[in-house]
Amino acid sequence: MAEGRCLEAGERWTAPRKRVFELLLQAGAPVKAYDLIADYGHGQDRGVAKPPTIYRALDFLSGMGLVHRIPSLNAYVACAVDEAVHSASFLICDCCGSAEEFDPKVEPVVRAQAEHLGFRPTAMALEVRGLCRACA
Amino acid sequence: MAEGRCLEAGERWTAPRKRVFELLLQAGAPVKAYDLIADYGHGQDRGVAKPPTIYRALDFLSGMGLVHRIPSLNAYVACAVDEAVHSASFLICDCCGSAEEFDPKVEPVVRAQAEHLGFRPTAMALEVRGLCRACA
DNA sequence: GAAGTTATGTGATATTATAACGTCGCGTCA
DNA sequence: TGACGCGACGTTATAATATCACATAACTTC
């Protein structure tokens, strides 16, 4: 579980971090930062969140590998993989906006190619656009 | 050449399109939209460009496959490949900001994997972050 | 050269993200 | 216990990126 991973790493599982992660899990799809801001206070006694609160939580969560940013959508999604920090690949549906995380298993090949070109890779991100099963 | 490809397609090679493409070629590296706006008028009699002018030119050029957007940088780069519209992959140096276009040759594999998951791909983008030869 | 279409110019505004700075809460160690 | 140090948070403001809406101009076709 997220909290455990966080505590093991000696990091604090604070209210904003918890709430933002919760919202992303509930959504089960990419969510925009300002939607998180809008939804942050819904339910219970929580106050209103301002941008830095959300962006700090997102930075923290992606640093922990619990959340991925999808640059081409300017959106954030809870990580589907129970694994430490990792490079993420997504199948992004242009119709319904879903983003399924998958493992294309090409990382070693790409890494080798990059190194052959004198490049030293640290991370990679693959985004496949198209139509998901439901929309096709 | 860019103009030829554009005219063959029945599209107009207008002043803003030409100027924006020229700026990207000169840079030989990813450039941010607002840097293009700032540089647009430098030299000759050209007036000042406002955001829509630049964004329209960028949309057009990427539609023609002459320019790629690099989402994780919010930047745009002239295409290095003399080929019709294509999916692009980049080696992005976190040190000097360069972005080298390369062909990882994994597109068929990824496409097959995606289709196996019921996904119908239309385009894909791969971004590898790390250090280029010069910076390593 | 008139009509229709496509592109541009311009001002305003929406969306996404960060800077700066003060305060709070928690752990540590005297 | 209490003073310190550090990391996280709250808040205001602002930077950076991108789009809308509408008027004008340019090219195409007939």
Instruction: Count how many Cα atoms sit within 13 Å of the Cα of residue A122 in the half-sphere of its side chain.
Output: 9
Other beta carbons within 10 Å of B47: 9
Domains of chain A: 1-79 (1.10.10.10), 87-136 (3.30.1490.190)
The overall average pLDDT reported for chain A is: 94
Give pLDDT, residue B56: 98
B7 touching A, CB under 8 A? no
Q: Which residue in A71, A104, A133 is closest to B110 by CB distance?
A: A104
Other beta carbons within 10 Å of A135: 14
Distance from CA of A15 to the nearest CA of B (A): 28
Q: What is the pLDDT of residues A51-61, one digit of tens each?
A: 999 999 999 99
Give pLDDT, residue A34: 98
DSSP H or E run through B75: strand B75-78
Give pLDDT, residue B44: 65
Instruction: Count how many Cα atoms sit within 13 Å of the Cα of residue A48 in the half-sphere of its side chain.
Output: 3
| Residues in Cβ contact with A70 at an 8 Å cutoff, skipping those fewer than 6 apart | A30, A76, A77, A90, A92, A99, A127
Q: What is the pLDDT of residues B24-62, one digit of tens each?
A: 999 999 999 999 999 999 876 677 899 999 999 999 999
Reported as a pLDDT band with limits 50, 70 and 90, residue A136 is confident
Give nearest nucleotide to A37 (CA–C1'). C16
Instruction: Please give the Cα distance from A51 to A57 (Å, whole number).
Output: 10
Q: What is the pLDDT of residues A43-92, one digit of tens each?
A: 766 778 999 999 999 999 999 999 999 999 999 999 988 777 778 899 99
Give pLDDT, residue B1: 82
Reported as a pLDDT band with limits 50, 70 and 90, residue A134 is very high
What does the block give as tokens for B28? 């030989």
User: Closest residue to D26 by CA to C1' distance?
Assistant: B14
Other beta carbons within 10 Å of B93: 22
Give, in Å, how far the C1' of D17 lies from the CA of B119: 31
Strand partners, A78: A67
Give nearest nucleotide to B37 (CA–C1'). D17
Q: What is the pLDDT of residues B68-116, one digit of tens each?
A: 999 999 999 999 877 777 788 999 999 999 999 999 999 999 999 999 9
